[in-house]
Amino acid sequence: QVQLVESGGGLVQAGDSLRLSCAGSGRTLRSYGMGWFRQAPGKEREFVAAINWDGGRTYYGDSVKGRFTISRDNAKNTMYLQMNSLKPEDTAVYYCAVDKLALRLGRPEKEAYGYWGQGAQVTVSS
């Protein structure tokens, strides 16, 4: 069983930066793609970014390209999301997730993921 814990969320002003972390336990995650999603009140869960199992390939949703950077440290079983130039529309609960299958490229579909963290609130004020 995999447990994922997000941290690093908070309240910031527009233009600020935040870094989210997702720490995994229960199993090594080095063979699995991972992703970040977010969900704002009243909206569907939205793909933010994904990274393949070795960190060599990354993928981003259109709304965050050029501002967010996903990375991972397999030695620490941890994934990160560096968020720069934050906007009020980035306000959401951010979830990290682990792919159901090993050795796949990062996936934008939430159905591809089998384990989810509890979420971290990010609030960006204007």
Q: Which residues contact 38 (CB under 8 A, 6 or more apart)?
A: 45, 46, 48, 90, 92, 93, 94, 95, 122
How many C-beta neighbours within 10 Å does residue 96 have? 29
Q: 87 near 124, Cβ under 8 Å? A: yes
Report the C-alpha gap between 45 and 59 in whole angstroms: 17
Q: Is 104 helix (H, G, I), strand (E, B) or coil?
A: coil
Say whether pLDDT at 75 is over 90. Answer: yes
Question: What is the model's pLDDT at position 105?
Answer: 84
Q: Are 47 and 63 in contact (CB under 8 A)?
A: no
Residue 93, pLDDT > 90, answer: yes
pLDDT of the residue at 102: 87
Summarize pLDDT for 11-46 with one digit per residue, the tens.
Answer: 999 999 999 999 999 989 999 999 999 999 999 999
What is the pLDDT averaged over residues 99-119? 92
For residue 1, what pLDDT is reported?
A: 87
What's the whole-number mean pLDDT along residues 86-98?
98
pLDDT of residue 104: 85
Per-residue model confidence (pLDDT) at position 76: 96
User: What gap in Å lies between CA 80 and CA 56, rounded to an integer?
Assistant: 14
- β-bridge pairing 120-125 and 32-39: unpaired
So what's the pLDDT on residue 50?
97
Give percent of the chain above pLDDT 70. 100
Position 103 confidence tier, pLDDT thresholds 50, 70, 90: confident
With b for 16 or more beta-carbon neighbours within 10 A and e for fewer, the 47-61 pattern comes to: bbbbbbbebeebbbb
